[in-house]
Every structure is written in C-alpha cells, then in structure tokens.
Amino acid sequence: MSVLDEISAWPVDSAAAVVVTADDEIARYGDVDEEFALASVTKLLVAEAVLIAVEEEAIALDQPAGPPGATVRHLLAHASGLAFDSDEVQAGVAEERIYSSRGYEILAELVERETGIAFADYLDEAVCAPLSMTSTSLWGPAGHGATSTAGDLAVFAREYLAPRLLSAAQHDQATRVQYPGLDGFVPGYGKHRPNDWGLGPEIRGEKSPHWTGSNNSPQTYGHFGQSGTYLWVDPDLGAACVVLTDRAFGGWAKPRWADFNVAVVDEVAAHR
C-alpha cells in the first residue's frame, strides 16, 4: 500500500498523483493521463520556457520588462512590485515580494514579441515537445491557463531533478533564492518573513505554515495552484511529488496537503 492511497479519502471527485526520483517512479495514484487545470502551477512551465528563451539569447534576465526599473529576473521572482492581476505598481522594484500573475503574462508577451512565435507555441516547442509532454497545453493566460496530466508533470519534475533543457548554471539560478530577504504573501498561507522565491519556483525555506511537509528540506521548491494542484521537488531528498485534483484549493486542502507531504517524504526516505 502506498501513502498516495490516502488521497482516496480527500473530498475531491477526481485526483491523480505521482512520486518520482530522477530515474524511478516510486508511486502513483489515479489516472495519470487525466487532464486537469493547473492554475498557478502553469507558472513553472512558463518560467522554464522563459529561461530557455534566455539561453537562446532571444531575451536576457536583466532586460527591462514590466514596471520602470524592473527586469525579466524581477518578474520571474515576483520582485517587480507589480500587482497580482493588473499593471498597478504596488511597491518599488525589489522592495517586497508581491505575487503577480500579471507579471507572467508580461513575460509571455515579451518572449512572443522577441521571437515572433506565439507564446503557447513557444512553450510547446521549447518545453513540452522535447520532454514528450503531449497532454500539456497553454490555452489561457500565462499565469494560470495551462492544462496537463500527472504523467506529463512527473516528466517535468524529473527534468528539475536532472536538467537537460537548461544549463546547470541556469537551473541553479532558477532554484535558488532571488533577492534574498524580501517579505511577502504566499496566497492562502499568509505573510512570510522572508518569502523566498527563485526564477519561477517558490522556495520553501523556513516558511510555516506551508503546503509542503514540515520535513521537506528548506531547499524544496515548486508551486501550487488554486485549482487544487501542486508540484514540489526536494533536491536533498532527490524526489518530486505531483498531485492534481478537480477541487479548488481551500480549507479542505491546507491541513491535508501538509500532513500528506510529511508522509510522502517519509515513504521516499524509507524507499531509498
């Protein structure tokens, strides 16, 4: 019996999950080929495509983008001061970690403008096709508009554990804290001092409460979505977990996710 079987008791109509290492699948639950709306887990895919555009020299991390004084790097790390869903500037650049979905739309617009390729197509060509993620697509805004399967995201999680699309240096930057010391809110989990973030992924650090497990390492990174989805990668553990559901994030999820992820970490540690 796998710890993933606990998902059967969750108040959701449908769910799928996979736990992987770089070269092995430890456990799965549900139909891993069922498509789910990702909500903000979309940002992980978009950030990967943006960083590939950086490596292809179509854009640059320190290229101006967004509010005056902000760059691609600031937008990826939610440090531009831009509001969540508008062009309103709510703080100075690198003064506060303001979670901005609009910032990711601006990044997609920039890549599209600089490459001449519609961003959804660029994402497919740069990320999905090379990884054979045939059930993943961006149908809406770059901040939250993708659909995918647990099977596809397990492949993507393995890419984080053993990167091929990005150079080691770029991957290292993406998964390390950018603009250390910035305070800010994690949606649904309140204000954290600091609110660590990389170039796309949220970084766990010492945040509490948090959606990952209390025994996940501080280096754990990933993202969760308001559609009831998440993906985390724990480099110290050498494993990743993908969970997709069809129920919006809320009070049902907060205690379950944290406790469930503690059990997942324990099972992976025992497996290895």
pLDDT digits (tens, 9 = 90+) for 10-51: 999 999 999 999 999 999 999 999 999 999 999 999 999 999
pTM of the model: 0.98
Tell me the pLDDT tens digit for each residue of 239-254. Answer: 999 999 999 999 999 9
Residues contacting 119, CB < 8 A, separation 6+: 49, 108, 109, 111, 112, 138, 142
Nearest to 256 by CA among 239, 243, 266: 243
- Which CATH homologous superfamily contains domain 3-271? DD-peptidase/beta-lactamase superfamily (3.40.710.10)
- Residue 32 is encoded by which pair of tokens? 């891993």
- pLDDT value at position 272? 74
Q: Supply the pLDDT for residue 111.
A: 98
Q: How far apart are the first and last CA of the chain?
A: 16
Task: Please report which confidence band the pLDDT of residue 1 belongs to, taking 50, 70 and 90 as the band edges.
Answer: low
Which residue from 34, 16, 37 is spatially nearest to 145, judged by alpha carbons?
37
pLDDT band for position 2 (cuts 50, 70, 90): confident
φ, ψ at 40 (rounded to 5°): -75, -10
Task: Label each residue of 122-189 as H, E or C.
Answer: HHHHHHHCCCCCCCCEECCCCCCCEEECHHHHHHHHHHHHCCCCCCHHHHHHHCCCCCCCCCEEECCC
Phi, psi angle pair for 60, to nearest 5° = -135, 150
Mean pLDDT of 164-189: 97
Q: What confidence tier does 3 reach under pLDDT thresholds 50, 70, 90?
A: very high
Structure tokens at 140: 């809406």
pLDDT at 248: 98
Rounded Cα–Cα distance for residues 171 and 223 (Å): 16
Q: Kindly list the distances between the CA atom of residue 142 and the CA atoms of 50, 202, 229, in Å, as whole numbers in the listed order.
A: 11, 17, 16
Cα(39)–Cα(28) distance, integer angstroms: 21
For 73, the enclosing helix (H) or strand (E) is: helix 72-76
What phi and psi, each to the nearest 5 degrees, are found at residue 177?
-65, 130
